[in-house]
Amino acid sequence: MTKQLVKGNEAIVYGALLGGATHFFGYPITPASEIAHAAALYFPKTGREFLQAESEVAAINMIYGAAGAGGRAMTASSGPGVSLMAEGISYLAGAELPCVIVDIQRAGPGLGNIWPEQGDYNTVVKSGAHGNYQNVVFAPASAQEMCDFTYQAFEIADKYRVVVFILSDAYIGQMMEPIEIPNTPREGDRKDWALYADAESRKNLITSIFMNQQIQSDHNKKLQNKYRLIEHELLAYEEEETDEADVIFVAYGICARICYTAMEELRTLGIKIGMLRPQMLFPFPSRPIQQLAQKVKKCIVVELSDGQMAVDVKLAVNGAIPVLEYNWMGGVVPTVKEIVERVQQDMKGGAK
Amino acid sequence: MIKHQKPRAFFDTFERKGPGQKNTHYCPGCGHGTAHKLIAELIDELHIQDRTIFCSPVGCSVFAYYYFDTGNIQCSHGRAPAVATGIRRTHKDSILISYQGDGDLAGIGTAEIIHAANRGENLTVFFINNAIYGMTGGQLAPTTLIGQSTLTSPGGRVQSRDGSPIGMAEIMDAIKTPVFIERVSLATPGKVMRARKVFKKALLNQVQKRGFSFVEVLSPCPVNWKLTPSRARRWMEEKLEPVFPVMNFRETEDLKINKETIPPVLKGEDLLNVFRVNKDQLHPPKAKEISDQFVKISGFGGQGVMSAGVLLANCVIAEGRNATWIPSYGPAMRGGTANASVIVSGKNIGSPLVDYPNVLIAMNLPSLNIFEEKVLPGGFIFINSSIITRKVKREDVKSIYVPASDMAKQGGMLAAANVIMLSLYMLASKVSDIQTLKKVIPLSIKKKEYIDVNLKIVDIAIEFYEKNKDAF
């Protein structure tokens, strides 16, 4: 199929509709607004529902309603909006409703600015609202993955009855790249637990309240078992040049793109460096990182945050090798040159 | 004929409740039981049980799903109208009941109720106003009366501190869209019978797809009011009803119901065709082997720097190579200097950011000032000499001066100076064949009346290139 030049944010909508999305409820926010723009165009054009909600709070609750009614619903926002959705996400998790949420990360905290950051990692991957629950989290690094991961997200959301996040950033969202669209459009099936406003589904109840402690405890165990199953069944990451590496980058999203170029330059300079790029952040590729930690001498986590993902890398490495943190915040994005120079500096006294 | 029996819309026993399956969880003398029963009877009477979905709130009626043998969804505090909106967009023929208390609807959920009403969602809202927070044990509600003591207004509600009781029916009446707004009271049997008629009207409106109906129900809460059930009903008539007048606010009879036009749901090939592109007609030449290009195109907002970048990327992709395009975005686009970064490569592109360009297309002076020193040695700088008066200071780069704005103006479109510059960059670098650009322009330019003038401007650029080849 012909490749077409598509903006990352727009590729989300292509992937969503081909993945069977039925509803988009959203509220504009830079740098995620193009997703709502494309959704406003393509959802009605293909007979699906688009509605601009009065707030992110309303949007996530519209999703709760549409998902409870058997739809494949989605929204897209950025940090401040995702924070507003937190309570609703916890309800979705508690009631086991599937949906897809896109977070095009911008700099924070507070209003911050509209440039890229990866400071929502904890909020999204560690599930930043109340209660014990977990989101499945994709981490695309190209327009193609924005499309493909969103396409897959609805299947995963329905299969496990979970919230699936696409955790991206302002640059991956704003960037245009050639993509190929998936060639098999999908549709959701009727769900035996959902509300269809008919006799067959009348018995169904969508709720997250269980007043009996034992029943609430059992419900929590059921959720935890589901998350363990997801960890067992889903994993997505890419390794580059790790076979004979002395040191590896671990990075996702825009940082992975920058590290890829830095890696190529460093290898021409004689430094044996590879990269592990998580394509999913929950489940996190802990085991592959652990295995690499047996082979390489250093690990460098490159993030646009205060080292939120580095915590997970350190847990996986478990002290076997040093884990260095290269962190940028506030919308400042490193140049390839900066990273190359820093690695050269750090490799002087360390790995041979 | 059996005159009094349990409505079928109630469960026989309340299994979901656990112990005490014959009784509700409501306190003695509470109004919720009465309101529930009226609704259940009407669900029977209107034959809508199977298609009813009851949206229960947070508050005393959070457990409505213990009782109603309908579809049930429990909503977060105040958001039932948004949840119902989500369901409405899924099942057009469902009957949706948003049953909310005064904390839920008049406190935390004011935004959701106002906007659902304003959208005219086909929805029936029952707003139970008992002037107090019941479930949490008797705190101040937005509807608590001045002077009324609660756990969080122990000396009574004070207007200067707590504001005045909110009239939600009056607020609804300020919105154009709702078709039916009425406040009823459950203080006396006669008023309950009136409430039943109002409830029926509000539900029938939805069955007939007339739109948004709002019923405010003044309801007793003897336990939290610390009154006996009979005293509580007297208090309603003496204190509550004067503040919240029991009356009809709106009843739209001659409503023209617009038939919804629902676009067909596209599936399979029809859906794919919405997103497919067919660029086969381009027949682009095979890409020339040239080194990776790191291009920065920069200028004022409105000089087309973004679209020049998109045109470049499209040409390159058509010829089978890789490209990335990334804009400066946000406020930068609303005036000031904007720039687009394009990378062209035969391989996978890692970082899409152009920190150090080997090609700079400077459309205005600030762009040259910002990026000149970043250009890699041996790189190219294309200068729009129509408006950039100074020369390039660097001597380790190739500088090409093009009066692009003047050329574009002569060609009939000042705003197409970007196409002049892009064409000359293509001609000089062979990054893409100029004929590819002429094929891509008609596919990329949205306003069709601008296609011809842009193609003419490409020709002007070609002519300029032929005449000034030595300068390149």
Q: CB B112 to CB A54 under 8 A?
A: yes
Per-residue pLDDT of B423-464, as tens digits, reads 999 999 999 999 999 999 998 888 888 999 999 999 999 999
Q: Does B350 sit within 8 Å of A259, measured CB to CB?
A: yes
Collapse the DSSP code of B54 into the 3-class scheme (helix H, G, I; strand E, B; otherwise coil) and give the result: strand
For chain A positions 118-177, those within 8 Å of chain B (CB to CB) are 170-171, 174-177
| Closest CA–CA distance from residue A297 to any residue of chain B (Å) | 24
Domains of chain B: 15-251 (3.40.50.970), 287-471 (3.40.920.10)
pLDDT digits (tens, 9 = 90+) for A72-106: 999 999 999 999 999 999 999 999 999 999 999 99
Q: Do A65 and B274 touch (CB under 8 A)?
A: no
Q: What is the pLDDT of residue B2?
A: 62
Give ipTM to 2 decimals.
Answer: 0.96
Whether A17 and B112 lie within 8 Å, measured CB to CB: no
The pLDDT value given to residue B262: 75
Best mutation target among A195, A252, A258 (most B Cβ atoms within 10 Å) is A195
- Contact assignment for B86 to A69 by CB distance below 8 Å: yes
- Which residue reads 């059992």 in tokens? A218
Instruction: Tokens for A13, please give them.
Output: 């909508």
Which residues of A fall within a CB distance of 8 Å from B86?
A: 23, 25, 61-69, 71, 73
**Contacts with A58 from chain B: Cβ below 8 Å:** 79, 82, 85, 111-112, 115
CB contact under 8 A, A45 and B280: no
* pLDDT recorded at residue B446: 83
pLDDT tens-digit profile of A244-271?
999 999 999 999 999 999 999 999 999 9
Domains of chain A: 4-233 (3.40.50.970), 238-348 (3.40.50.920)
pLDDT band at B260 (very low <50, low <70, confident <90, very high): low
How far is it, in rounded angstroms, from Cα A179 to Cα B78?
42
Q: What is the pLDDT of residues B310-366, one digit of tens each?
A: 999 999 999 999 999 999 865 545 556 799 999 999 999 999 999 999 999 999 999
Proportion of chain B in helix, strand, coil states, percent, rounded to 5: 40, 20, 40
In three-state secondary structure terms, A27 is coil
| Angle (CA) B69 B70 B73, round 5° | 115
For residue B20, the model assigns a pLDDT of 87
Amino acid A351: pLDDT: 45
B198-220 mean pLDDT: 97
**What local confidence, expressed as pLDDT, does residue A217 receive?**
97
Give the pLDDT score at B147.
Answer: 97
Q: Decide if pLDDT at B302 tops 50.
A: yes
- For residue A3, the chain B residues in CB contact (below 8 A) are 317
pLDDT digits (tens, 9 = 90+) for A288-317: 999 999 999 999 999 999 999 999 999 999
Q: Indicate yes or no: CB of A62 within 8 angstroms of CB of B267.
A: no
Alpha helices by DSSP H, A105-142: 121-125
Name the minimum distance, in Å, from the CA of A51 to any CA of chain B.
Answer: 9
pLDDT of residue B257: 63
The residues near B248 (Cβ < 8 Å, ≥ 6 apart) are: B181, B182, B198
SS3 content of chain A, % helix, strand, coil (to 5): 45, 20, 35
Query: Which pLDDT score, from 0 to 100, does residue B263 have?
Result: 84
State the pLDDT confidence band at B258, using cuts at 50, 70 and 90.
low
Which tokens is B439 given?
Answer: 């094929």
Q: Is the pLDDT of residue B279 over 80?
A: no
Query: A65 in contact with B at a CB cutoff of 8 Å?
Result: yes
A46 CB neighbours in chain B (<8 A) are 263, 265-266, 271, 274
pLDDT in tens, A96-138: 999 999 999 999 999 999 999 999 999 999 988 999 999 999 9
Given a contact cutoff of 8 angstroms between Cβ atoms, the answer to whether B376 and B357 are in contact is yes
pLDDT band at B301 (very low <50, low <70, confident <90, very high): confident
- Partner residue opposite A175 with nearest CB, options B87, B267, B352: B352
Q: Name chain B contacts of A196, Cβ cutoff 8 Å.
A: 71, 91
Of the candidates B89, B277, B329, the beta carbon closest to that of A2 is on: B277
Residue-level pLDDT at B470: 87
Q: How are strands ordered across the β-sheet holding A298-303?
A: A237-240, A273-278, A247-250, A298-303, A323-327
| Rounded distance between C-alpha atoms, residue B273 and residue B277, angstroms | 8
Q: What is the pLDDT of residues A313-352, one digit of tens each?
A: 999 999 999 999 999 999 999 999 999 999 999 998 654 4
- Beta bridge partners of residue B251, listed in sequence order: B180
Residue A352 has a pLDDT of: 43
Q: What would the mean pLDDT of B278-307 be, rounded to a whole number?
A: 82
Question: Are A207 and B72 inside 8 Å of each other by CB?
Answer: yes
pLDDT digits (tens, 9 = 90+) for B136-178: 999 999 999 999 999 999 999 999 999 999 999 999 999 999 9
pLDDT tops 60 at residue B249: yes
